[in-house]
A and B are shown apart, each in its own frame.
Chain A
């Protein structure tokens, strides 16, 4: 039997649930488990119900399960809401100073308030106490807990350790999460993996405006900016964000921006400018539940078409949807490189699940991102910023360059970048910009793994999915003996690789977190149709159990 545990920790927003779940994730990762943390929190600062599910398994997991081995409740609401999903009704740990009059109480009560008072500790150290109690309940050695707390607690380490030890000693072991002989892996959010990938791809500048679920990317890059010499700017709004990114590109600096749907709306005029002026930019579009403000802190996959068709006018772009930290890292760096090679905008479709969930990251392939292959001016002929070439890509030259005048333009322009309304030049320049897509598509099909296939590859039944939904589909299909097809590159669509993946498939079922089945609709233009759609649009990602039930019903 595969070792596979789930722990749910819940309380009010502001209780530090998030932080505690990260620390528990680290503890479990350090004893050889592969972890995944699903975070569910409302859009407010204090109050409201927040919980995280930490899953730990022998093999890589990137999805949560419904059944819980241990429940950690900071308030009675958590107990009321989640006790029913406990495998054993009494395997919960609670603050016995907070939850006193709960009916049929049988879990492990920890007198946290008393402990804090006795140790003269702060209210926010309640979590340390519960982490200690949890660790004992799960059979984890104190040494492991101490080691992780020393690394993850930013201040007052000794006092936190005291409180944690009191929690540890007050609890009793109820399950046994044994150490696994397996090397441990770094623990990252999807946002952090995207940030590292951008850095590996040669990022110089990142500009953002806070918006869930992409704010974490801004925070992460702002924090590591001195280490990598990056320019990170929190601008006045998303319009400024993308315009600054294009200003950086003009000056030869590789820039990226991050936002969610609403912010991306504001960026659209800049996106079109990127297309017209052929200024590269990489955009991280973190989807959440829409339309409009929607559910700001919940997930969704509703912007596939928006990413593909946003902006006015017709121009070449690249759209990719990674599904976990390894793909996020690889495709973030590769998107930046492709943007610069083809002088186009690239859009990385992320979502709340990918951006903010916590994963293990396998770093053994981190060198694999190619350097941007930038066509530079040879300085032999007069410089023309928009020189038409076979593949439409003009040689670049960055200011200041003594022998060149570099003119970029949002108006239709001639090869020198001077405004024109001439019909012949207009058509010629439109062709120049549009033809790049053929070469981009060819390169992607030949050199990149644009479509991934998982599960039972010769199954006649295949699940079609994209983005953060992929891992849950893979896990369920491996269990049920089905095939999974994930196009990671979505635009330009890798038709050849997709056709190869579809060989032998007679029954295609799409699984998407939206209400209409956007990928299922999109592939119709290439002659494919799905037999059935499994759609979820309540803001929450599929759990393993939930998807399994859906598929078994089919």
Chain B
């Protein structure tokens, strides 16, 4: 087993029983495996937003960018374009990336940029103490909707499939084996990957029992069949009480966004000035 120590001096402030621990433990094990497997530790960059989920970057001794609420994706994209050799893993919440920053998420999927997004989807705002989120079921009584929210939730799996995401999966924060498997596959996937993790908030929306009774791991889906992936995604709409499939819904290989950029920036100043002069001589007629 790896001797790598990924701990930091930061004190963990998540609630006891918080689903974030499963994500933290799973990702640390996956990172260690990948580092042992030959990806240099310094080639990982973790990006997080704002919310309980985001503290994860303080707890892992790896390069990180602790960003703003909703703004994980554009930061992650730029780091990838700036240096395609870097593995960029974004951690985000449901309020973060399905609410405040939804547009960025859709565009990242549309671009098929090679980053991984892990969504800590607890379907409630934790850090701001219990309001409904874009994936809370209708009728959810939160502090901003004391009489029940009147909206239907997004189905992020369906939304991501419709947006050209090339790797779409769902995990659950009870136990880490499945999370580990999915995270590793997502990180190694070349292209935009998203893992929606049903992560339980024990304080404001404790869904352990509800999920335990409904989740099952998909084992006979093709992963390559878009229509089948869509059908599987629609089995549970985040609102009804049906069975909840876990695992990888879909994956495909396509050209990635960062590959389309110029490489070889001209760093040499003299060379740049020479080229500027050349350009100016063309417009001096």
Chain A residues with CB under 8 Å of chain B are 26, 29-30, 147-148, 151-152, 184-188, 196, 199-200, 202, 204-205, 207, 224-231, 233, 235-237, 239-241, 243-248, 250-253, 255, 269-270, 273, 277, 361, 363, 366-367, 371, 399-402, 404-411, 413, 416-419
If the complex has contacts A243-B71, A251-B86, A269-B68, are A228 and B275 also in contact, measured as CB distance less than 8 A? yes
A237 to B58, CA, bound (A): 29
Contact B283 A188 (CB under 8 A): yes
Among candidates A30, A241, A417, residue contacting B285 with C-beta atoms closer than 8 Å: A30
Q: Is the CB of A407 within 8 A of B64?
A: yes
Whether A400 touches B43, Cβ cut-off 8 Å, given contacts A196-B276, A200-B276, A239-B71, is yes
On whether A230 and B265 interact (CB within 8 A), knowing A407-B64, A419-B10, the answer reads yes
Residue in B10, B82, B280 whose beta carbon sits within 8 Å of that of A247 in the complex: B82
Q: Report chain A residues within 8 Å CB of B74.
A: 235, 239-241, 243-244, 247
A416 to B281, CA, bound (A): 49
User: CA of A243 to CA of B79 in the docked complex: distance in angstroms?
Assistant: 10
Tell whether A251 pairs with B276 under 8 Å between CB atoms, given A231-B261, A407-B63: no
Sample of 18 A–B contacts (CB below 8 Å): A29-B285, A147-B285, A184-B285, A186-B281, A196-B276, A200-B273, A235-B74, A243-B68, A252-B82, A273-B67, A363-B277, A400-B85, A401-B42, A404-B42, A409-B66, A410-B50, A410-B66, A418-B8
Query: Contact between B83 and A237 (Cβ–Cβ < 8 Å)?
Result: no
Kindly report which residue of chain B lies nearest to residue A252, judged by CB atoms: B82
Residues facing A in B61-77 (CB within 8 A) are: 61-68, 71, 73-77
Complexed CA–CA distance, A199 and B264 (Å)? 14
How many whole Å from A191's CB to the nearest CB in chain B? 13
Q: How far is the CA of A151 from the CA of B285 in the complex (A)?
A: 8
Give the chain A neighbours of B45 by CB distance below 8 A.
250, 399
Query: Quick one: CB contact mask for B227-251 with A, threshold 8 Å, 1 for yes?
Result: 0000000000000000000000000
B1-23: which residues lie under 8 A (CB-CB) from chain A?
8-10
Does B162 interact with chain A (Cβ within 8 Å)?
A: no
Q: How many angstroms from the CA of A502 to the CA of B103 in the assembled complex?
A: 51
CA distance A399 to B45 in the complex (A): 8
Instruction: Determine which of B86, B273, B279 lies in contact with A367 in the assembled complex, contact meaning CB atoms within 8 Å.
Output: B273
Residue numbers in B under 8 Å from A224 (CB-CB): 279
- CB-based contact A233/B63 at 8 Å: no
A interface, over-half SS: mixed
The interface on chain B, measured as residues whose beta carbon lies within 8 A of the other chain's beta carbons, has a size of 55
- Smallest CB separation, B70 vs chain A (Å): 8
Contacts known (A196-B279, A367-B273); A243 close to B78, Cβ less than 8 A: yes
Q: Is B120 an interface residue (CB 8 A)?
A: no
Check A251–B265 contact: CB distance below 8 A: no
Chain A nearest CB, measured from B280 CB (Å): 4
Contact A184 B66 (CB under 8 A): no
Distance between Cα atoms of A233 and B277 in the complex (Å):
25
A26 contact set on B, CB distance < 8 A: 285
Closest to A254 in B: B265
> B interface vs A, CB < 8 Å?
8-10, 40-43, 45, 50, 55, 57-58, 61-68, 71, 73-79, 81-83, 85-86, 103-104, 107, 261-267, 269, 272-273, 275-277, 279-281, 283-285
Contacts of B9 in A (CB 8 A): 416, 418
Residues of A with C-beta under 8 A to B103:
236-237, 240
Q: B165 to nearest A CB, angstroms?
A: 16
Asked if residues A231 and B55 are in contact (CB atoms below 8 Å), the reply is no
Whether B65 pairs with A408 at a CB distance below 8 angstroms is yes
Question: CA separation between A407 and B67, bound complex, in Å?
Answer: 11
Interface pair A248/B64, CB less than 8 Å apart: no
A27 to B, closest residue via Cβ: B285
Min CB–CB distance A231 → chain B (angstroms): 5
In the complex, besides A148-B285, A184-B285, 15 extra interface pairs with C-beta distance below 8 angstroms are: A151-B285, A225-B262, A227-B279, A228-B275, A240-B104, A243-B67, A244-B75, A244-B78, A248-B78, A363-B280, A366-B276, A406-B63, A407-B57, A418-B9, A419-B10
Q: Give, as a whole number of angstroms, the nearest-CB distance from B72 to chain A.
A: 9
Q: Which residues of A contact B57 (CB under 8 A)?
A: 407
Tell me, in angstroms, the Cα distance from A426 to B261 when the chains sit together.
Answer: 40
Query: What's the Cα separation between A54 and B128 when bound, in Å?
Result: 58
Q: Which residue of A lies closest to B71 (CB)?
A: A243
Q: What's the minimum C-beta distance from A207 to chain B, rounded to whole angstroms?
A: 8
Q: Which residues of B contact A235 (CB under 8 A)?
A: 74, 107
Q: What chain A residues lie within 8 Å of B263 (beta carbons)? A: 229
Contact yes or no, A400 B86, CB < 8 A? yes
Q: Which chain B positions have C-beta within 8 A of A237? A: 103
| In the complex, residue of chain A having the shortest beta-carbon distance to the beta carbon of B273 | A367
Complex CA distance for A341 and B4, rounded to whole angstroms:
35
State whether A399 touches B75 (Cβ < 8 A): no
